[in-house]
Amino acid sequence: MDIEVVEFYPESEKAKHRGYIGSMHVYVCDLDNAVQIDVRGISVFNNKGFWFFKFPARKGIDQDTKKPVNYPIFSFTDREKDKSFRKSVIDLGQEYIKKNFAEVLA
């Protein structure tokens, strides 16, 4: 999927010890002209070279089971498109951060 990393916002040194290095803002480019999407608040973690991207989500209670559930704030209804979006964010996000924010990873 064609996305553009708009910006990465590094976190303070205090939070860095937990592996959290910042949040990212991306723009989805390959949708039709009627739909334009910005996705903000993608948390980025890096611990000893292991990358983890946490997409914006909320917690709630399942009304049937009464158990807590996590659900995404944004997702494509087409599972393949959603999978492609997430993979693109992870791949391009790592590349963008490595290129522009090497000091954050140090």
Quote the mean pLDDT of the chain: 89
| Model confidence, pTM | 0.85
Residue 4 has pLDDT above 80, yes or no: yes
* DSSP 3-state of 2: coil
Contact in structure between 72 and 56 (CB atoms under 8 Å): yes
Given a cut of 80, whether residue 49 has pLDDT beyond it is yes
pLDDT for the residue 96:
95
The secondary structure of residue 33, as a DSSP letter, is: T
Give pLDDT tens digits for 74-97.
Answer: 999 999 999 999 999 999 999 999
The confidence score (pLDDT) of residue 104 equals: 77
